[in-house]
Amino acid sequence: MCELLGMSANVPTDLCFSFTGLLQRGGGTGPHRDGWGVVLYEGRGIRAFRDWAPSVSSEIAQLVSRLPMKTCIAISHIREANVGAVNLENTHPFVRELFGRNWSFAHNGQLAGTEALTLGDFIPVGSTDSERAFCWLLARIRERFTNSATLEADETAYWQQLHRWCDELSPRGVANFLFSDGRYLFAYCATKLSWITRRAPFGEARLSDSDLTVDFGEHTTANDIVTVIATNPLTVNETWQAMAAGEFIVFDRGEIAYRAQHSEEL
């Protein structure tokens, strides 16, 4: 299985601390040696870095872990391949344009029968079940909402529909997703995702996979809010919240904007 990392913040924040912990699991403290990637949003644009090499030994990953690139939304992924060759085109997160927005998507798990999904105009570049699921989701969004204004007209209905589509994919296997439309960060849990929100008074955090401790109080203001989502908690001295199976959360600037357990209950 792969591992996911996401961040939603109300002020531009770097991912260096959390990413340093994650990259150790890519061939160091974990078996996820088959590539890694990260997408960092800045306004309407993105910075995207990927490498098919293990993150623990990737010089590009080391650069990302040291370079304090500020963002309010980030998605990262380390891969343990089960479908598709180990190469750059199969490396998450995947990115596509829709309605003038950069959409990004990363998946932990494996989905059966994705060859039968109707993808519309969204054609996979690689050969993973994950990218096909992403293309299917984008095709459903385009078909249902037609333009960006329709998404914004009733955001609760938009989020509920995203949840239903995630629930449609989930029975095909293991479907833990992090994805974004550039405005919100979406998290869907089938088996395993946890999150933590850091806000004032900020304290000290210690990574579980690296000998690194940070006192966030030295790097933040009283108004900062930062939420981190991960497959497995990244720190050993903080309390992370585990998501339930079938749960869908929308994060907006570090806060929870929407949360539901099962779409059929909506």
Which residues are part of the catalytic machinery? 2
Spatial CA neighbour of 91 closest among 120, 116, 61: 61
Under 8 Å between Cβ of 83 and 101: no
Per DSSP, the residues of 128-182 read -HHHHHHHHHHHHHHHHH-SHHHHHHTHHHHHHHHHHHHHHHGGGB--EEEEE-S
Q: Give SS3 for 193.
A: coil
